[in-house]
Structure 1
Amino acid sequence: MKLHVTHRTEYTYDAPIRSLVQSLRLWPSEFDGQDVHAWNVGIEGTAVERGAAFRDGAGDWIETVSARDVSQLAIVIAGEVETRDLTGVVRGLREKVPPQAYLRPSNMTRLNQDLRELAQDAVSGIDDELSRAHALSRAVASAIVYTPGSTEADTTATQALEMGKGVCQDQTHAVIAVARAVGMPGRYVVGYLHATSDGTTHQASHAWAEIWVEGLGWVGFDAANGCCPDEKYIRLGSGLDAHAAAPIRGRSLGGGLEDMSVDVRVLDEQQQQQ
């Protein structure tokens, strides 16, 4: 499936920022599930210096940028990726980080008794690891109902479970937490999704979990849509949680209040030609 992506993230400040540094994880992963035919990450609105660029231990390409006296800044992505359905298996990704590293806790995925009980109930009587992973994702989807606008960027898995609702970020954090509760490494993945199961196009980037399954490797689970990632997904990168895997991370010095707007379009070939 050929997917065309346009993604614009624009920042405006009511007083100029004296200095700004950002780390960008905005390039599609290199693995068997996708081939990048074209991809450009441009920056508009101010003079920007591009700094270090490297591939980290998880296989993600990262670049740093910096700027001074910033009143407005836009990061603009345009690209084409050909994807294929590997039933969620992340095959061919070159990475150096061992799976056990993703058993570490983070603030967003920290376990409590309720998450532990949810995990144990989900896998009770299931011995096969892949089946256990599917059961964990289903349990989270039932316990945390997808509800747009119901949580904040810093909501943790335990808080979302207590409320019983959340967005894809919250469900992903909870899947990671319950996987870790039963000894299965889990990590947070960011990327793009062409459409929901009913055909509605997405207007933002998407998140899902990957769980390490012995004999298969990393396998993706999207609790929000009740499926494993297929040809409708473009994978960008991963981390312990949403903060670590964020496509754009930055620090600024001085200046006023920030306003951010995001527009994402993921179209297939037929939509692109219309």
Structure 2
Amino acid sequence: MNSWRLEIEHRTGFRYDGQVAASYNEARMTPRDEPHQAVLDARVEVWPEASTHRYVDYWGTVVTAFDVHTPHDRLTVTATAVVETLPPGDLLATATWAELADPGTVDRWHELLLPSPHTALDDELTALADEIRGGHGTPHAAARAVCETVRAEVAYVAGSTGVQTDAVQAWRQRSGVCQDLSHLTVGLLRSMGVPARYVSGYLHPTPDAPVGETVVGQSHAWVEWWAGRWMGFDPTNGVPIGERHVVIGRGREYGDVPPLKGVYAGPPNTGQGVEVKITRVR
């Protein structure tokens, strides 16, 4: 099993139409150690300089909180990390539909079975979920079919949607970005009774990437479902989660894991910039 070592630099922030007196912010840009990945180094730097406080939120995501009280017309957050990742492991999960319907299982994953604002379905999509469930003997097989259906029916088109787009809108226009495909997949899975969560992270865009070459990477989103154990899959690219993926956070939907959010006192925000660079270093 060949691991990859990825170096990631993620720079983001806001520009304002004048001086902001103070801002209060949270960054979710730090990977965590887990079975799929080992974090060798990770840090978050803020400009203007500010004291930072790190904690783990309700969903298990590392949060860097900071307040800026120096007048500023822009805010920049730079997160860097070195992470060792593994290729996909065992791709089978054995839970039955009856096991997922067990009251203990439903209670355990209750929050990940409910629709959220961006994953709620309409009647057409609910019927589609029922049809897919009825055609597959196991939750895991049905989940893979959901991913295949979403990828076949909804085209990935960069810039075609915004952060407010929900699953129904993406389905109706048959296009979206990774966030939309993931929201739609999560909504269909939950409708079938399969616990599902939204995952935020990074993707190296190149399979078999050469060592030492820095490329423009992507902030990315994918899904995980529970069918006896958690399984990860990238519906945008049609692949299981592997050495090209780095997990940052999980939640019900994007709103639980935005890379940067905050409040401030001052003139309007004139835009947010995002730049991600990824280098395979081994």
TM bracket (short chain): 0.7 to 0.9
**Which 4+ stretches in 1 moved above 6 angstroms?**
none
How far does residue 98 in structure 1 lie from its aligned partner after superposition?
Answer: 4.1
Matched, 1:7 2:17: no
| Unaligned segments of structure 1, at least 5 residues | 90-96
DSSP-derived class of the 1:153 partner: coil
Counterpart of 2:269 (choices 249, 252, 257) is 257
How far does residue 198 in structure 1 lie from its aligned partner after superposition?
Answer: 9.0
Within 5 A, what are the aligned runs for 1:121-270? 121-196=131-206, 202-214=216-228, 217-269=229-281
Q: Cα distance 1:42–1:82, how it changes in 2: closer, same or farther (>3 A)? A: same
CA–CA distance in structure 1, aligned partners of residues 158 and 9 of structure 2: 22
Between the two proteins, the alignment pairs up a number of residues equal to: 259
DSSP-derived class of the 1:135 partner: helix
TM-score (norm 1): 0.88
CA–CA distance in structure 1, aligned partners of residues 206 and 143 of structure 2: 22
Within 5 A, what are the aligned runs for 1:35-184? 35-44=38-47, 46-51=48-53, 53-68=54-69, 69-87=71-89, 98-184=108-194
Contact 1:196 1:225 in 2 (8 A): no
How far does residue 247 in structure 1 lie from its aligned partner after superposition?
Answer: 1.9
TM-score (norm 2): 0.85
Q: Percent identity, please.
A: 29
Aligned to 2:104: none
| Unaligned segments of structure 2, at least 5 residues | 92-106
Paired letter, 2:130? Q
How far does residue 266 in structure 1 lie from its aligned partner after superposition?
Answer: 1.3
RMSD over aligned CA atoms reads: 2.1
How far does residue 204 in structure 1 lie from its aligned partner after superposition?
Answer: 2.7
CA–CA distance in structure 2, aligned partners of residues 151 and 197 of structure 1: 26
Greater Cα offset, 54-63 or 16-25: 54-63
Greater Cα offset, 121-130 or 161-170: 121-130
Q: Cα distance 1:22–1:105, how it changes in 2: closer, same or farther (>3 A)? A: same
